[in-house]
Structure 1
């Protein structure tokens, strides 16, 4: 079992991490990891290392420059902090191959902040329903206006291109836990 001291230190680190992401203070966010590592399970992508994570930050804030969050719940486990939150923002730039729609989104997410035996943050693993996000991005486009039909076609083409990406191999190789009584 983790101690109250460890619980408080983890809570502070994770809340600082969230706060600095909203402020887009990337050096401060990266300082919460000895080696930055993100796993986005819905897209089966991994961003590993300083350069890759900075690229992820750049790309996600190009797509959603006003990205913010609302924390719903905060839980501790022996090796992680689990945070449920709403992620919200406006689709102002490309999301990979998906063109911006100008639509607002609000998606419920869960992030697992994983710690090693020395209390170092080693991974942020994020889960969310990508269909909910995509429905909100395209759903905000007025399809009764013929001027938006080309945007919808480009959105669909971009979505198909993104869906064709190969999953990161480390997310496919999982080891079941050893469960003993």
Structure 2
């Protein structure tokens, strides 16, 4: 089991990480990792290293410049801090191939902040329901208004393009753990 001092240090790091993401202070966020690494399970994508992670930050803030969060709970395990939170924002820029809808979203998420044996943050692994997000971004379009028909079609086309992306092999080639009797 982790000690109370380790738990407090990990929790402070995770809360600082969240705060700095909202402030969009990317240097401070990146300083919480010796080697930045994000795994987004719903999209089966990995962002590894400074360049890729900065690209992820840039793209997500182009799509949602006002992105924020509301923490629900933090839980601690032997090797991780597990954060439950609401992610919220406004879709003002392209989300990959999906054009901006101007709609707000609020999606419940879980992030595992995983630490190694030396107490370094080595990965942020994020889980969320993509259908909940898409329902709020695309489903919120008023299709009774003909001006939204073209945007809706562009969103569906963008979604179909995105759905053809191959999953990152690190997320599909997993090894089951060996459990002791």
Asked if these proteins are the same fold (TM beyond 0.5), I'd say: yes
Question: Is residue 10 of structure 2 the alignment partner of residue 7 of structure 1?
Answer: no
Residue 74 of structure 2 aligns with which residue? 74
Residue 39 of structure 1 aligns with which residue? 39
Structure 2: runs of 5+ lacking an equivalent: none
Residue 173 of structure 1 aligns with which residue? 173
Paired residue secondary structure (2:138): helix
Paired residue secondary structure (2:107): strand
Residue 123 of structure 1 aligns with which residue? 123
Deviation at 1:30, TM superposition (A): 0.1
1-structure distance, mates of 2:139, 2:16: 33
Paired residue secondary structure (1:73): strand
- Per-residue CA distance 1:146-178 (angstroms, 9 max, x = gap): 000000000000000010001001000111111
Residue 155 of structure 2 aligns with which residue? 155
Q: Aligned runs of 1:43-58 on 2, under 5 Å?
A: 43-58=43-58
2-structure distance, mates of 1:73, 1:110: 10
- Per-residue CA distance 1:98-124 (angstroms, 9 max, x = gap): 000000000000000000000000000
Q: Which runs of 4+ in 1 moved over 2 A?
A: none
1-structure distance, mates of 2:78, 2:180: 17
Instruction: Name the Cα RMSD after superposition.
Output: 0.5
Structure 1: runs of 5+ lacking an equivalent: none
Paired residue secondary structure (2:6): helix
Deviation at 1:141, TM superposition (A): 1.1
Residue 143 of structure 2 aligns with which residue? 143
2-structure distance, mates of 1:159, 1:11: 36
**TM-score, normalized by length of structure 1?**
0.99
Deviation at 1:88, TM superposition (A): 0.3
Aligned residues: 181
- Per-residue CA distance 1:36-62 (angstroms, 9 max, x = gap): 000000000000000000000000000
